[in-house]
Structures are given as structure tokens and as C-alpha cells.
Amino acid sequence: MPPLFKRLLLRNFKILYLTSMWTRRRFTPTGRFLLGVLVFAGALGIDTRINIVHQLFALTLCSVLFAMLWAPFFRGGLRARRLLPRYATVGQAMAYGVEVENPGRRSRRGIHLIDELAIAYPDVDAFFHAHEPGEGRRNWFDRKVGYPRWAWMMLQRAGALEPEGEVGWLPGGATERVVLSLTPVRRGWIDFRRLHLLRADPLGVFRGRTLVNERDRLLVLPRRYPIAAIDLPGGQRYQRGGVSLASQIGESEELVGLRDYRPGDPLRKLHWKALAKLGHPIVKEYRDEYFVRHGLVLDTFCDSGGDDFEAAISVAASFVMRLDTRDALLDLLFVGDRVHQVTAGRHTAGRELLLETLACVAPSPKGDLHLLTEALEARARQLSGCICILLAWDEPRRRMLDKLEARGTPLLALLIAQAAPPDLDGRVRVLHPRYLERDLGRLR
């Protein structure tokens, strides 16, 4: 398909999509029915000498035009604001409130509320490289033209269908809370753009509108599944310098005293107040500790975020909720633009930090598995056990597991795949991406 034709096709898709959204918001169900009658009567009533369908067309057109001319007279003067929770979860309905205020003296009734979500439209490359689930089962025309794929991409980029609700009777000077329901279809951030406050004309055909530009964001966490009791082998390990706090802060150990400086001591451990008072270098001494520390390794090396990648994210989130982080540390390791390590537990960050990170993890098609292997080797002596969630099985991944085992790190290796590869090791368990709840419930 020529590039010029591709750009023209996407431009038409965008116009058609915006037109359909405007029609859905501004016309009532009765109005949308009249639009259908208008198109039907207009097609059949072209020749006025054959039938009288043109009269139906004229009557319907007059009704629609009257309703649309009434719309500018709706000056709601209403205010609204959202009351969003902190998180939502993929596939789970979430209720949130919208407070609608009527600062005027006149009462309002029949207000329809639509919460608009922000959408970033795809470019040509993104559209023609995307794959809608089940697209192969569509007819030839839909596959070649691709508008169903466009509609699916719009829903994925928005994150959910636009919530709607009704405000019943709103007296002057009063505030009413409306409960809206939203079911996220993907993880990550959902951006709320603005609120539409609409009221239908006396015929109940077209809605006048007041816009409230209220922007908000909601973080959608990955889907989680129950996991059977997992008892990873391996006990407490020696942690140099004590407990390491969240990676954004750096190390923070338990101070046990001061001592004179010795050659080789890092300058960051100097006690500057004691140096100024005594006139010679004094360093802070920390207590080394032994405690349980688990690693959760997420394989992000894939071309695009498909079902397998999303399943791996859900498995990682399920383990975050299952493992004990009150008396142990949990390190989440993955590769993006670099090797990322996020740590939670033992009075540092909570599980929420790990779930927030997983909600925003993206595939790493050009990442280097060698970077992840080196990071694991450097941390292997500190890990009491390691859970590796893999997206494929090949020689580099086999070597990564071999190096961890060679350093004495107990492993639980999980492969996200629809079928086990022929050369799969017995130490790796297969999880089917469509039956995660079943397979995770069978883990022992």
C-alpha cells in the first residue's frame, strides 16, 4: 500500500472516529434513531415523483434542526470535579465520584454527564504494525481496510470506555455526587481530559453542552491472580552494609558507632562534625546484617507488548502480592533503557512501589540479556532465592539460570508460553498466558 494512501486512510479513520464520538455524545438515543431515519429517507426519497418518503425526510430534518438550534441556549454554568481513587486494576470495574455543583439560583434537571478520556492517535507505522486480537477471524474487507483495528487501538490508548452518568434534580446552590463506573482494559496511566455536562432539548433529540476542563490521571495496576503457597528454599544471606533502602535513595545502614579513619574507607562515611571538632578524620561505622532477600526477575525482551508480555507482568504482580515483604526484601529486576532494580520490604518501600513500577514497564525489543545476567551475578550472593519469569527459552536464558545456580541461588523459573519447547529444562515450569489463574494455583 503506498505511503500516501496509508496517510489518507488514517486521516479518514480519524475523521470518522471523531464524528462518531461527537454523535454519540451530543445526540440522545432518540436523536441517533432519527439520524438513521434521515439517512434512510434521504436515500429513498431522492425522486419525489415516485413516492412520498421525501415528506418523512423533511419532517425528520426539521426536528433535528430545531433540536440543534436549541443547544446554544443551554448555558449550564455548572462546575464539576472528580474524586478518583489512588489505583484501579485491569479488568475490574472501579467506581468513582464526580461532584457536580450548581452555583446559580435556577434548578437543573436531566443533566447527562460524560467523562472524556485523552487519546493519542497512532501514526502510520504504529497502526500498520499493530495486531488486533482475533483479527485473523474477521472478513477480508475488515482485515484489509482495518477500521476495526483502529477502533480497538483507540480503546487501548484511552484505557477504558468513557464513563457516563445522570444527574437527577440539582437545586440552585446545591452539589450532588454522581457515581460513575470505569473498567480499565490495560495497565498504565489513564488520562482524564474533561467533563461534558449535557442537557437534551424539549424534543429529547440533541443535547446542549457545558465543558469543564478538569484534567486528572489514574494509575491502572496489572491484573493479579491467587498463587498457591510458595516456599522458596534458601535462608538469610549476608548483606554488606546492612539493609539497602529504595534504589532512589541509596544505602542507609544502621549506625552503631564512630571510629578513626582507616585507609580505604569511603569518603561518604566521614563524620564531618567529628572531623571539625577533633581535627582528624572520623568515620561512621555500620552494622552488617543477615536477612532474607528475594529476587523477582522479569524478562522484557520481546518485539512488542502482546499477550505473553502482559501475562508475564500479571505473574510478576501476583508474586509481589504473595511474597512476604514485612521481614524480607524483594528486588524487582528488569531491563528497559538500562537495568532497573526496585526494592521493597523491611520498612523500606511497600508493595505499592513494585506494582506502580510493573504498571508502567514496557517491552525492551533492543535490550541486551547480557546486562540482566551481569546484574544478577553481581547480586546473586545476597539473594536468598530468585523467581525468574521468562518470555522465551534459548541458550542465553539457559546460561543465565546456570550462572545463578552455580552461585548457589535457589531458583523458581517460569516460562510464559502456550506449549513447552522441546529442549526445555526440567527446572522451568510453563504457564499458559490464557490460563494463568489455573497454572499459578497449581504451583508448589
Helix-strand-coil percent breakdown of the chain, rounded to 5?
35, 30, 35
Any idea which residue has 475523521 for its cell? 15
- Average confidence (pLDDT) over 167-173: 87
CA 157 vs CA 183, 196, 300, 331, 378: distances in Å: 14, 20, 21, 30, 38
What's the pLDDT score for residue 247?
34
Q: How far is CA 131 from CA 1, 48, 143, 266, 304, in A?
A: 17, 47, 10, 53, 10
Higher pLDDT, 175 or 346: 175
Segment 260-273 mean pLDDT: 75
Say which range, 248-252, 287-291, 356-360, has the weakest mean pLDDT. 248-252
| Average pLDDT over every residue of 198-208 | 91
Per-residue confidence (pLDDT) for residue 40, from 0 to 100: 87
Strands (DSSP E) contained in 29-184 are: 79-83, 87-89, 94-101, 108-117, 164-170, 175-182
Query: What is the C-alpha to C-alpha distance for residues 116 and 193, in angstroms, rounded to an integer?
Result: 6
Is residue 196 over pLDDT 90?
Answer: yes
* Euclidean distance between CA atoms 394 and 389, whole angstroms: 14
Residue 115 DSSP class: E
Is residue 144 scored above 70 in pLDDT? yes
- For the chain, give the percent of residues with pLDDT over 90: 41
Query: Residue 434 in 3-state DSSP?
Result: coil
Q: 124 phi and psi, to 5 degrees?
A: -65, -45
Angle between helices 3-26 and 147-158 (to 10 degrees): 60
User: Residue 27, SS3?
Assistant: strand
The residue type of 68 is: M
Give the per-residue pLDDT at 348.
61
Q: Is the pTM of this model over 0.85?
A: no
Pairing between strand 411-416 and 428-431? parallel
Cell of 159: 484505557
How far is the C-alpha of 320 from the C-alpha of 296, rounded, in Å?
Answer: 8
Q: Cβ contacts of residue 167 below 8 Å, gap of 6+? A: 100, 108, 111, 112, 113, 176, 178, 197
pLDDT at 1: 66
Contact between residue 359 and residue 219 where contact means Cβ atoms under 8 Å apart:
yes
Residue 29: pLDDT band (50, 70, 90) is very high
Give the model's confidence band at 241: pLDDT under 50 very low, under 70 low, under 90 confident, else very high: very low
> Residue 112 — φ and ψ, nearest 5°?
-100, 130
Task: Tell how far CA 247 is from the center of its chain.
Answer: 23
Q: What's the pLDDT tens digit per position in 47-71?
A: 766 677 888 888 999 999 999 998 8
Say which DSSP state 16 is in.
H
- 27 band by pLDDT with thresholds 50, 70 and 90: very high
The radius of gyration of the chain from alpha carbons, rounded to an integer in Å, stands at 30
Residue identified by cell 508493595 is 351
Q: Which domains does the chain have, with CATH numbers?
A: 3-221 (2.60.40.10), 254-286 (no CATH), 289-441 (3.40.50.410)
Read off the pLDDT of residues 290-305 as tens digits, 9 standing for 90 and up.
567 888 999 998 877 7
Kindly tell me if the per-residue pLDDT of 388 is higher than 80.
yes
Grid coordinates representing 378 are 553481581
pLDDT recorded at residue 286: 60
411 DSSP β-pair partners: 386
In this structure, of 208-222, 289-303, 426-440, the range with the lowest mean pLDDT score is: 289-303
